[in-house]
Amino acid sequence: MENKRKNLKKNQIVAFLVTVAIVILVNIIGAYVFTRFDLTSEKRYTLSPTTKEILNDLNDYVYFKVYLEGDFPAGFKKLRRETKEMLDEFRAYSKFIDYEFINPSESTDASERNETYKQLYQAGLNPTDMVVKNRDGSSKQMVIWPGALVSYRNTTEIAIDLLENQIGQSSEQALNASMQNLEFRLIDAVKKVTRLQKPNIAFIEGHGELNEQEVHDIAQTLAQNYNVVRLEIDGKIDALMHRTQDEEREVKAFPSYDAIIIAKPTQPFDERDKFLIDQYIMHGGKVLWMVEPVYATMDSLQSQESTIGIEQDLNLDDMLFKYGVRLNRDLLMDLTCASLPIRTGQVAGQAQLEFFRWYYFPLLQAASEHPMVRNMNSIKSDFVSSMDATTMAMGIEQIPLLKTSSYTKVSGAPVFITLAMLRQAPDKRMFASKGKNVAYLLKGSFPSLYANRIPQEIAEDNGTNFMEESVPTAMIVVSDGDIIRNQIDIKTRKPLPLGFDQFTQNTYANKEFIENAIGYLVEGEGMIDIRSRELKVRLLDTAKIDQERTKWQVINTLVPIALIIALGFVMAFIRKKKYSKK
C-alpha cells in the first residue's frame, strides 16, 4: 500500500514536471516562431495577405486617435470593441502601429467640449447625433464621433469615418456594414497616410461626356485618394503621355495618368483621339469605359408619353471589339428593376406621386465571384445594353462583372419606349432571357487597333513611341454611362450622393462599384479583396433582451454554481467509492 502511494505521488510529480516543461518549450518556440489561430467560421480575425504586406513594410509609427470612448449604446460599444481588436491584430504584425481611445465628450465644461468638437470637425471627422432611450423611458441626446485621426511621423494626419452611414440604412445596418469594413478602413488609412504621392485620375471630356455636376459626388470621393482632373484630349500627342530621354538620348513614353474615365460620351471620337487612347493603353494605361450603344433618356419622357431608343455611333466599336468586347445595339428590360415616380394627381397644392416598376431601370447583380463585385448590393442602371466577349482577343482574360436578372427581355434598336406599359401587367413569358452581361473586366496584353494601319515612318518615329501590343494592363467596359451619374436634388439643385435615389429613398451600390473599379485598375486586386470581405455580425434582439433579462441573469448566476456543487458531490462519491474498496 505504501509503495503504491509513493508510485502515485511520483507519477503525479513527473506529470507536473512534464507539463511545466511543455509550457516552457511552447513559450520558447513562440518567442521565435510567430503564429496566430483563428477558429471563427468566417476567419474574422485573419488579416488578408495585402494587409500583412502593408504592415510589414512600415518603417515608422502610424498612430491612431480613435474617438470611440464613452458611455455608448450597445451597437457603438461593439464597434469600439471590434476596432480595438482589429488594431491589436495590426499591432501583432507590426510594432509601428500604436493607438489610443479618446472620449471627446469627457469634459464637464460645455465650452471646452464644443471647442473639442469644433477641432474634430475641422480635422475632417463627422459627428453622429443620437437620442438614446433609458430603461426608465426617459431619453437623452448624445453626440458621438465614430472616427479616427491617423498620423504618420507626427506630421501627416488624415481623418477616417468608422461608421458607414448611407441614406436609407437603419442604424443596425450601418453598424453591421461598419464592422464588416473595419479592416479595409483602417489599412486603407495606413496606406494613404504613408503614401508619398497620390495617383492621377482623369475624366475625359470633349465628346459629350457627363459634366462636372453629374459626376460631382464620385469625383469628390475619388479626390480623397487620387489627384482628379478633367481632360480634353483634342488630338494633343502629350495629352495622356509624357516623354523623357534616357542617357542614350532615346525617347521613352509613359502614361501621365494611372487611369482615365470615359463617362457616357454622346459624340463620335475622331481617329486622332482614338489613336492617342490606344497608345496610352499600349504603354500600360488603364481605362474605365462607360459607353452606351443605344441613346435613350428619361428627359424625353418628361413632356411626352413615349420616345425612341436609337443607335448611337461613337466610332468606338472597332476599338472595343479589338480589345475583347462587343456592345450590342439593344436595350434590356428586367422584371428586377427600380421604380419610377409618376405624378397621378394633386392634393392641397401637393403633387401626388405613385411608384411603378420601370423595366428599363434594371437592378444589376454580380456576374462572377471577382472581388470587385463579390458581396455587392444591387446597382441601378438606366437604359442599359447587353454586351458579349469576343473570340478575337487572344490571350485577353475576359471576366464578366455585372449582369441583369434571369427575367430579362432584349429589345433590338430602334426601341419604342412608352409610359403606357406602366398601366399594364407584364407578360412574364416575354422576360425569358437569362441574365445578360453588361460589364466586363479585360486584362492582359492588348493588340493595338492601329497595328499595320499607320505609315511605316510614323511607326518607326522615335518620338511617336508606337507600340503594336500593350504591356500587361487592364480595362473595364460597362454598357451604361448612367451608372456613374449622380442625381441632382430637385429642390436645392445640388448633387446628391451617387447611388441615392431621391424619389424612392433607396441607396444602391453604384458608388461602391465605381470606387472598386478605380481601386482595382490603379492599385490591383489586394485592397478590393479586403473591401469585399463579408463578416456576419450577429445582432441581438433588443426586445427579447428586455423581456427575458431576469431569467437569463438567474440562469447565468445559479447554473454555474449548481454545476460546481454537483461536480463536487460526484468527485466525493468517486473518491469514497475508490478508497472504500482499498
Domain 49-190 and domain 197-531, same fold? Reply is no
Element (H, E) at 413: none
CA distances from 537 to 44, 173, 180, 346, 431 (A): 10, 10, 8, 45, 37
Is 3.30.1330 the CATH number for 49-190? no
Q: How far is CA 460 from CA 58, 239, 407, in A?
A: 44, 21, 52
Which residues are CB-neighbours of 152 under 8 A, at least 6 positions away? 60, 61, 62, 63, 193, 194
d(CA 325, CA 256) in angstroms, rounded, equals: 26
Single pTM value for the model: 0.76
Before 414, cis peptide (omega within 30)?
Answer: yes
Q: Domain 197-531 is of which CATH architecture?
A: 3-Layer(aba) Sandwich (3.40)
Residue written as grid cell 462636372: 212
Strand partners, 287: 260, 475
Q: Kindly give the confidence (pLDDT) of every residue in the chain, 582 residues in length, as a single tens digit, with 9 standing for 90 and above.
A: 566 666 666 776 777 788 888 888 877 776 555 555 555 555 556 788 888 888 998 988 899 999 888 777 777 888 888 889 889 999 989 999 999 998 888 888 888 888 888 888 888 888 877 666 666 566 677 778 888 899 888 777 888 888 766 545 566 666 777 777 788 888 888 888 888 788 999 999 999 999 999 999 999 999 988 999 999 999 898 999 998 877 777 778 899 999 999 999 999 999 999 999 999 999 999 999 999 999 998 888 877 888 999 999 999 999 999 999 999 999 999 999 998 887 766 666 666 677 888 999 999 999 998 888 887 889 999 999 999 999 877 889 999 999 999 999 999 989 999 888 887 888 888 888 889 999 999 999 999 999 888 766 666 666 678 899 999 999 999 999 999 999 999 889 999 999 999 888 888 999 989 999 999 999 887 777 676 665 555 555 555 666 777 888 888 888 888 888 888 888 888 877 766 655
Where along the chain do its domains lie?
Answer: 1-35, 49-190, 197-531, 540-582
Cα–Cα distance between 188 and 148 in angstroms, integer? 13
CA angle 172, 483, 407 (to 5 degrees): 80
